[in-house]
Structure 1
């Protein structure tokens, strides 16, 4: 099963990435974790996202479209980065996330969502 693992944004990372000894060590720890995922055949993709101030949203209402510039409020609902993993089941995904270094300074949250898998028909 494929899952998307979403690292939720915090107020800190919405301010943007700042190089410091602490942030560089956190990046190195995450790199080592990604290496473990890759070696286990779990990692399909991993990316970090820039702050929402660099983003845009397109709101749909029937045939109308409206573009909204970031930054976006409700920081806890935003995504700061993601992985795409291939795992046996949700229990395996949870086990991997529990091994993950804390992705943000202080409290943070990671969400795991299965992808829809539509069987191909002949």
Structure 2
């Protein structure tokens, strides 16, 4: 089962304040442990919303808005995806996640990622299975 750890944005991350060398070192230590355990799927920081867009669906139409966006507490600044055997193992890794806010107060979140088996059987799910197999085979 896969889980995603979500790092919430702050005013500093939205302003482009970069982590210290010590903070980067602590984060890479944690991710190296995940990799050695075979649990790391992917991890990345996200640039500020000034480098992105939002798309809103309303009344059958799409409206695209350029960043930056207000309310940094509702934004994501980074993520780590892990794959583990049990929810308890996921929680153990989550509790060990280093403070991504360089010692300041903040909040991270972890949620389980849907697997295709969770979605039942349908033609669309089978098409996703084929896409997933193509992605893993590199073709």
- TM-score in same-fold range (> 0.5): yes
1:26 counterpart (23, 26, 29): 23
Structure whose residues are more often helix by fraction = 2
What residue in structure 2 maps to residue 90 of structure 1? 87
SS of 2:23's partner is: helix
SS in 1 for 2:116: coil
Mind listing any 5+ residue stretches in structure 2 that lack a counterpart? 127-139
Q: Does the CA contact (< 8 Å) of 1:13 and 1:104 recur in 2?
A: no
| 2:110 equivalent to 1:112 | yes
The 3-state SS of whatever aligns with 1:67 is strand
Question: CA separation of 1:29/1:75 partners in 2, compared to 1, >3 Å: closer, same or farther?
Answer: same
1:75 matched residue in structure 2: 72
Structure 1, gaps ≥5 residues long = none
Q: Which structure's CA Rg is the greater one?
A: 2
Partner of 1:13: 13
Q: State the distance in 2 between where 1:118 and 1:13 align.
A: 33
Aligned to 1:65: 62
Deviation beyond 3 Å, 4+ runs, structure 1: none
RMSD in angstroms over aligned alpha carbons?
A: 1.8
Aligned residues, how many? 119
TM-score, normalisation: structure 2:
0.78
* Distance in structure 2 (CA, Å) of the matches to 1:43 and 1:56: 28
Q: CA deviation at 1:63?
A: 3.3
The structural deviation recorded for 1:33 is 0.7
Residues of 1 paired with 2:4 and 2:59: CA distance? 29
The answer for the alignment partner of 2:4 in structure 1 is: 4
